[in-house]
Structure 1
Amino acid sequence: MTGVMPKGDGVVCAGNWIVDVVHTLDRWPAKSDLVHILSEAEGVGGGAANVAIDLAAFDTGLPLFAVGLTGTDRHAETVRQACRAAGLDSRHLGATAAAATAHTHVMNLPGDSRTFLYHAGANDLFDGMHLSVEALADMDARIFYLGYLNLLKSLDAVGPDGSTDAASLLRRAQLAGMQTCVDLVSADGPRFRATVEATLAEIDHLFLNEIEAARATGLAISGPQDAKGMEAAGRQLLAAGVRQTVILHSQDLAIWLPKAGPAVRLASIPVPTSEIVSPVGAGDAFCAGVIFGIHEYWPPNYALQLGHRAAAAALRSPTATGGIPPLVTLMPEAFATC
C-alpha cells in the first residue's frame, strides 16, 4: 500500500447539498417546553457535501467533483464558499430559483445523539437529467458516489418499469466507466425499502448503517453490536442485486461483505463520551474513508480502518466536516510501502 496517488483519478460526489445549523442543547425538551441552546455552529452537510469535503480534507490532491442542486439564496453561497475552500470542482453543481437551498436545523445533545429538522428545497428537484456523467468520466473520475438515496425525491421515485431515476443515473455512470457507490439515509417512510430494492442492481458498493439495513430488508437487527443480524441483511442485499460490496457500519463495528468471499469485520475506535462534541457527519466521514480505500485498491481491512479513524475525528467537531485532518496525520502508514 502506498500514499502516492495515481494521476488523473477522482471521485464524483453527487446528491444532497445542505446547510446544517447545529444547535447544541442542554437537554431534550418535552412538548411545549423550553430548553437552552448552549452553542450554535453552521456548516455544509448532506451526503455529497460531507463525503466530498472530507475527501478534500485528507489533502491528497484527489480530484473531487461536486454534483447536485442548490437555490440562489444565502445558503447557496455558503455551499459554494465551502466548495471553493475545499478546492472542489463545482462546475456540475447547479442552481435553481424554483426552490431554496436545502437546510437542516440539527438538535445536538453532547455525548448522546442528534435530531434533524430538514427542509428539502432544491434537493427534491435534483434529477440528474442535465448532468453529463460522460463528461465527468472523460475527466478521469473513477468513482461516482450518490448520497443519500431516499432523500432525493426526484431520484427516489419508483417508476412503472420498477426502477428509479437514481438507478438510471447510476447506470449511466457505470456505462461511462465509473464504479458506483451509494449511501442511504436513516429516514423512515413507506417507500424506503421499495426505493432501495429498485436501485440495487446499479450499485457497485452500498453503504448503510444497522438501522438502514433493517429498513431496507425487513430483517430484525437488535442494535449496533448485532454483527450477525447486520451480516444477514448485507447478504440479502447482495443476493438482491448489489454488484460488488455491501459495507455496513454502526457505532460499534463495520462489516465488509463482498459478492464472493468471506466477510471482514473491524471494531470501531472507542471515543470517550467527554470528547464527543457531536455525532453529526460521523457516518459520512466513515464513508469517505472507505471510498478513498476503494479508490486506492486498498485491502478491506485498511479501508475500514481509515473509515473508523475518520469517523472518530468527526465526533470531535460540532459540524459534519470540521474535524477531519489530512491523511498523513489520520493514517500515516498509508504513506509507507507495506
Structure 2
Amino acid sequence: MHGRAVGDVLVAGHICVDLVPEFPGAARVEPGALFNVGALGIRVGGSIANTGSALAGLGVPVRAHGLVGDDALGAIARDQLSAIDGVQADLVTTRDHATSYSIVVQPRGEDRSFWHHTGANDAFDGTTLDPTGARLVHLGYPPLLPGIAADGGAPLAATLAASKEAGATTSLDLAVVDEASRAGGYDWNSILTEVLPHTDVLTPSLDDLISALRIAPRTGLADELAEDLLARGAGIVAISVGEEGLLLRAAGAERLARGGPVLRALGAEWAGARVRVDPVPVDRLGTTNGAGDAATAGLLAGLLRGAPPAAAVKLATWAAADWIESSSCSGVRIAARASGLTPWARG
C-alpha cells in the first residue's frame, strides 16, 4: 500500500497526459502530406485528473491516485496534478512502463477522437490503492486499465470490495472499449456481473455500454440498460446519453442502505428514483474532452452533500456544461456563491 487517504474522497485509476494540437480547420490524415496546425496544448488528463479537478472545482477536496512512468510525461502529470487547487497528487512511479498519453484530435466545433497509449495504466491493478479514511472511492476507466479488469474482473471486484470493507461508498466510471486493445478481448458482460454488486454508483455513457456489451443502439436502450445494471447489483446508475441528456436510476431503499456512508445518508426520495434531464446549453464550445468526467463529479458532489435526485442530476449537467466551456467547474461554484445558493440548487 502507498500512502493513506487524507480527505473524504479518493479518485483512482486512469491518468494520462493529453497532447492537444490546435486545428485551424479539418483534421486530415494523408500519407506523405504536410498539414499546418496550431499550438500544442499539454495537460494532465484521464479519469483521476478530470474527475478530481472537477470535484475540487465544486468544493470537494480529493486525493488522486494512479501510476505514471519515470519519464518527462510522468513529471508533467505529477506537476500539473499537484498544481490543481484542492487536489492532492498521490502518484506511484513505475520504471517498467512509460506514462500514458492521448493525442486528442478535436477540430474546432466538432467532437473529439483519441489516439491513446495506456502505458503505466497497464500496471494498475488496485494493489497500490489504500482506501483508509475515504468516505467515497471513485475508480475510473477500467477498459483502459487492462490489469485491473483481467481475470474476469476479479482484481476490480476485489478493489471495490476492499474499499467497501474499509467503510467507503464506491463509484465506478467506464470508458469506450476499443476492440483492438488488450481489454477489448475481455468479456465485459461477465465483468460487469462480477463487479456491480460492489459498485454503489455507476456513471457510464451510453457509448461506453454499447461498446462494452457489443450491442446496437436503439430507442429506449438507456432505460433498458439502467434497469439491467440495477438488477445486477449497482446502487445508483447515471447514464450520459449525449444530446439526449442524462438518465439517473436508483435501486430500492435496502440496496441504498448497503451503499456506504454516502448512500446511507440520502433521503427517502432516492429509493427507486428515476430522473432524466436535458443537457445544459453552452455559450461556446471549448472542449468536450473530460465533460463526462465533470458530469460524474457533479453527481458525486450532489450525493456527498445529500442533494435530492433531481438536484444532483442538475448539478451533473451544469458541471458538464461548465467544463465544455472552460475545462473546469469553477463557474458552477462561483455562480452558486454569487447567488447565495448551494451548488445543486442552481438553475
TM-score range, shorter chain: 0.7 to 0.9
User: Does residue 146 in structure 1 map to residue 136 in structure 2?
Assistant: no
Distance 1:282 1:337, change over 3 A: closer
Contact 1:24–1:39 under 8 Å retained in 2: yes
Which of 277, 280, 296 lines up with 1:269 in the alignment?
A: 280
Letter in 2 for 1:130: T
Aligned to 2:91: 93
Distance in 1 between residues matched to 2:111 and 2:216, nearest whole Å = 22
Gaps of 5+ in 2: 1-5, 180-184, 253-271
Matches within 5 A, 1:217-236: 217-222=213-218, 226=219, 228-236=220-228
User: Does residue 156 in structure 1 map to residue 179 in structure 2?
Assistant: no
Distance in 1 between residues matched to 2:322 and 2:38, nearest whole Å = 22
Task: Report the CA distance between 1:335 and its aligned residue.
Answer: 6.3
Distance 1:336 1:94, change over 3 A: closer
Distance in 2 between residues matched to 1:337 and 1:303, nearest whole Å = 9
Aligned to 1:288: 297
Which of 139, 159, 181 lines up with 2:171 in the alignment?
A: 181
25-34 vs 307-316, greater mean Cα deviation: 25-34
Task: Report the CA distance between 1:327 and its aligned residue.
Answer: 4.2
Secondary structure of 1:280's aligned partner: coil
Contact 2:16–2:101 under 8 Å retained in 1: yes
Secondary structure of 2:178's aligned partner: coil
Aligned to 2:258: none
Contact 1:144–1:173 under 8 Å retained in 2: yes
Which of 124, 127, 131 lines up with 1:126 in the alignment?
A: 124
Distance in 2 between residues matched to 1:196 and 1:34, nearest whole Å = 44
Letter in 1 for 2:276: R
State the identity %: 28
Which of 301, 306, 311 lines up with 1:297 in the alignment?
A: 306
Aligned to 1:3: none
Gaps of 5+ in 1: 1-7
Contact 1:310–1:330 under 8 Å retained in 2: no
RMSD over aligned CA atoms reads 2.2
Q: Between Structure 1 and Structure 2, which shows a larger proportion of strand residues?
A: 1
Letter in 2 for 1:202: H
Letter in 1 for 2:304: H
Task: Report the CA distance between 1:288 and its aligned residue.
Answer: 0.8
User: Does residue 168 in structure 1 map to residue 167 in structure 2?
Assistant: no
Distance in 2 between residues matched to 1:330 and 1:305, nearest whole Å = 14
Task: Report the CA distance between 1:271 and its aligned residue.
Answer: 2.2
Letter in 2 for 1:229: L
Which of 238, 242, 251 lines up with 1:251 in the alignment?
A: 242
Task: Report the CA distance between 1:216 and its aligned residue.
Answer: 4.1
Contact 1:309–1:330 under 8 Å retained in 2: no
Aligned to 2:47: 47
Q: Deviations over 1:187-245 (max 9, x none)?
A: 232424343333222111101111123234455434xxx5x221111111111221x11
Distance in 1 between residues matched to 2:61 and 2:329, nearest whole Å = 18
Aligned to 1:27: 26
Runs of 4+ with >6 A deviation: 335-338
Higher relative contact order (CA 8 A, sep 6+): 1
Task: Report the CA distance between 1:112 and its aligned residue.
Answer: 1.3
Distance 1:330 1:205, change over 3 A: farther
Q: Deviations over 1:65-84 (max 9, x none)?
A: 11111112111121222232
Distance in 2 between residues matched to 1:336 and 1:113, nearest whole Å = 27
Which of 321, 342, 346 lines up with 1:334 in the alignment?
A: 342
Distance 1:220 1:289, change over 3 A: same
Contact 1:149–1:156 under 8 Å retained in 2: yes
TM-score, length-scaled by structure 2 = 0.82
Aligned to 1:213: 209
Secondary structure of 2:307's aligned partner: coil
Q: How many residues align?
A: 309
